[in-house]
Amino acid sequence: MNLRNGAYRRSLDYGLQLARRAGVKRVVVGQTGEDPGAASPQQLAWKLVTRHVLSLAAGAERVYVGYGRGVPMPLPSAAAYAWMTHLLGGATYQGEIWEDVPLLEAHLFVAPERRVAVVWSWVGEDPASPDRGALVFENGAGLEARDVVGHTVGIWKNARLIVPMGEAPIFIISSELNAGELRDRVRQARIFGIPPATIWLRNLAPGNSPGRMVATLWVQSHRPYRLDAMAGLLPPFGWRARDAKQKFGLDAGQAREVTFELDMPTVAAPPKDAPPPAETPAAVGPPYEMQIAVSLGEEWVRRTQAVWPTVIPQRTIEVGYALTGWEGIEPVTVQNAAGNVRAEVRTAWDEKFFYFSAVVHRERDTFRGGRYATDGDALQLAWGLADRADDDFGQRGRDRGFPRGAFRDTDHLMAITFTKEGAQLIRLRGPKTPLRDHLPGNQDPWYGPVEGATADISRETSEKATYYAAAIPLKALAPLKGERGRALRFGFRIGDPGNPPIEWSAAAAVPDYLAGPGSYLPMTYIDGLPCQTIWTTIGPVPGQKVEEKKADAKKAEEKKADAK
């Protein structure tokens, strides 16, 4: 699992949560060791240090190091462990220095003869390439910097000390400064060379008037000091942004939503005898390419993102007749990396149900299942309706959006799959329950068919397409209610046996550390499904007349009678 998603830290948080509920008041023993996800012996050594420090930060009094497969200990890890225990042996953990900043780590230890700050960063676009940034102390007097094996690092320019900042932890050591002075020095240091913020266009939804769209941009600072920010959005060709730029301030680690109102291009109907118009960029449909730029102080962050209008129109659907009843609802499209499996996904709602439909195009004719409801070609659905887990973690900065800590990313997780009873909608988890595999004889109360739901899976051989559909009672998704204008987080995953599943988060360009299934509690199960994109419930499908709706309903009833 990618180090940048903070999976180890959140695993510690989850263990603490369960321990506290069981009555344990303090952590006595933590364990760390070999990480099979390390890409090199050097990265293995880095992770050994960061895991050790995070275990101590979680409250462990002792941390044991274990290498489970019995292989010889790699030399970099041995050297890193020896140097770390020399520095931190006998030292007392004093707390986080950047406690309000996500993806930056700085932890303070105090021993009689020295004070030590261990610093590193998890910020970055590419998880395979460590960040190459710098931490600049304007006043470096009384400080020295060492890497994980004890080598002196950093550049001196008069009184200024410049040390590397990235995935590899650095020890900032002082025998002259007390704990408070070292903390202040680290807090006041400037960070360069790594992204100052994460930016992400979360959704594109209809505005308050026809032809108008609202783009919601999410900006989160990765700096331990306040920044003055200015965001700009360049929409697709032919679109117009009503606010070209917006200025705002960001406190340390703060996340902020910024909205841009956009006017879509309007094209008058051509005369009946006019020749077909030439294709222009304005004629290109979704996903719409948006270019985002945010300046934060003297630094810039840029991102180009293809955005689908993630809307859930109002309509009553009769499940079981392929795409009958879905006419006029624009799908979102996802596909696998090879491009040989493609799916069009549609959603709808009414006062009683949430409707879902997917048309999956693949070469083979058979549905592949498995032992669990999530195996094979099963299609998973996830809804996020609460922003925070109802526990005592992540208390710091609750008003800052998404700082570190425990989050309830997915409240409801279900799967459309084949069972012995045919196509069914299976509940995999609900709120306030840990997610784990369903084992025979282990009947968890939330696991099983969803009461009142309807599901259908059918195959159209001539089109090489599999149709999935489900009607999910809103009462099974409490507190989701049938109301317009509701914003909810929604995601889906389409199984593709032998290959990685097709993820909505990939199509929505969700940042790496947010899309990771281990990023947020209670998603501790590696195959969990996070939902980080906002979908919006809107009114009836535009352009569909009442007579057409009645005709569609009558047609569905006739097909239902014929089937009986």
Q: pLDDT 10s per residue in the chain (564 long)?
A: 334 445 666 666 666 666 766 777 665 545 555 565 667 778 888 888 988 898 888 777 777 776 555 455 557 788 898 999 999 988 999 999 998 787 789 999 999 999 999 999 877 655 555 567 899 999 999 999 999 999 999 999 999 999 999 889 999 999 999 999 999 999 999 999 888 888 999 899 998 888 899 999 989 888 988 999 999 999 998 899 988 899 999 998 888 889 999 998 875 555 566 666 554 444 468 899 999 999 998 899 999 999 999 999 999 999 988 888 999 999 999 999 888 899 999 999 999 999 999 999 988 777 787 777 888 899 999 998 876 544 444 444 344 444 344 456 788 889 999 888 889 999 987 775 554 444 555 555 667 899 999 999 998 877 889 999 999 999 999 888 888 989 899 999 999 888 889 999 889 988 766 665 544 444 444 566 778 889 999 999 866 554 555 566 666 667 666 665
Select from 29, 83, 25, 23 the least CA-distant residue to 56.
29
Name the architecture of domain 311-554.
Sandwich (2.60)
Domain-wise residue ranges, the chain: 3-192, 197-265+287-307, 311-554
Residue whose entry in the numeric block shows the structure tokens 């910097």: 145
Q: Could you give the CA distance from residue 331 to residue 358 in angstroms, rounded to a whole number?
A: 9
Amino acid identity of residue 420, one-letter, is K
* Pairing of β 422-429 and β 412-419: antiparallel
What CA–CA distance (Å, rounded) separates 120 from 186?
A: 12
What element of type H or E holds 55?
Answer: helix 41-57
Give me the amino acid identity at 430.
G
pLDDT per position as a tens digit, 454-470: 999 998 877 889 999 99
Query: Is 170:186 a contact under the CB 8 Å cutoff?
Result: no
Instruction: Give residue 260's identity as a one-letter amino acid code.
Output: F
Let me know if the fold of 197-265+287-307 is the same as that of 311-554: yes
SS in 3 state form for 468-533?
Answer: EEEEEEHHHHCCCCCCCCCEEEEEEEECCCCCCCEEHHHHCCCCHHHHCCCCCCCCCCCCCCCCCC
pTM over 0.85: no
CA dist., res. 268 & res. 449, Å (int): 50
Residue 408: CB atoms within 10 A of its CB come to 20
Which residues in 420-464 belong to E strands, given as ranges?
422-429, 448-449, 454-460
Residue with tokens 């030292």: 91
Distance CA 436, CA 190 (A): 42
* Among candidate residues 187, 216, 363, the one with its CA nearest the CA of residue 292: 216
pLDDT value of residue 365: 72
Calpha distance 291→66 (Å, rounded): 47
Closest CA to 161 of 197, 220, 198, 117: 117
CATH fold for domain 197-265+287-307 = Immunoglobulin-like (2.60.40)
Q: What are phi and psi of 387, to 5 degrees?
A: -80, -30
